[in-house]
Structure 1
């Protein structure tokens, strides 16, 4: 919902002849809808003097969104602890979203990448610690679908 500092956008948008104010409004409108309180990357595509804003969420934003916690004001609350639990189906859904941007060849590798991010977010998957789940995947105790 909040747009970063204008000084970082102005030098990139100015030579294109686009309105900085309108682009900031478009970014705020796109990010407020689903990503309020989360830090996400925004992709700005300019074609024929028309700017199109696309939200490109990172793994941490997808993980925190899947926790379905109440919205936090990032300016007022620092070092938020995420203690909720999510299902393994949510992990697979996030993996499918991130797969095109991942460098991993197989879905299993992408799942393990996302589980690593879960460790830093400090949440559990089906009541298990993400590190334990990674070990179970390595040992073949947990099956990950290929598609």
Structure 2
């Protein structure tokens, strides 16, 4: 049979059971890859109610992509930075921007063939 106690003393029993630890959840906002890509494009602010499903035209350099990949590195499933860069290039393709005035898929193919190098450090 469970122990019986006064319902008003539930807090006291809980504090005794947990040892009085103060558990506070820490909440932080982490931007997604697409948000970082759109921010790097430096486009003007638009009214989201009037303009829907916009394609973001613009051009990013490969250095910008590498910097975004470094920010996203801890949340990526890739083993190396090169894989994270390829993930960001896929995000660029879906957002609609170009990288060094080329299609992001072409840059991915160049990375795979070894024509372009991504610094690890």
2:81 is the counterpart of 1:102: no
User: How many angstroms does 1:109 deviate by?
Assistant: 0.4
Structure index of larger Rg: 2
Partner residue of 1:76 out of 50, 53, 62: 50
Q: Distance in 2 between matches of 1:91 and 1:81?
A: 18
Tell me, yes or no, if structure 1 residue 57 matches structure 2 residue 31: yes
Aligned to 1:144: 118
Moved more, 137-146 or 71-80: 71-80
**Structure 1 residue 73, shift from structure 2 partner:** 2.0
User: Unaligned stretches of 5+ in structure 2?
Assistant: 1-21
Give the superposition deviation at 1:65.
0.6
TM-score (norm 1): 0.64
Relative contact order (C-alpha < 8 Å, sep 6+): which is higher? 2
Distance 2:44 2:69 in 1: 23
Aligned length: 101
Measured in 2, the distance between the counterparts of 1:99 and 1:53 equals 20
Check 1:80–1:145 CA distance in 2 against 1; reply closer, same or farther (3 A cut): same
Residue matched to 1:126: 100
More strand by share: 1
> Partner of 1:89: helix, strand, or coil?
helix
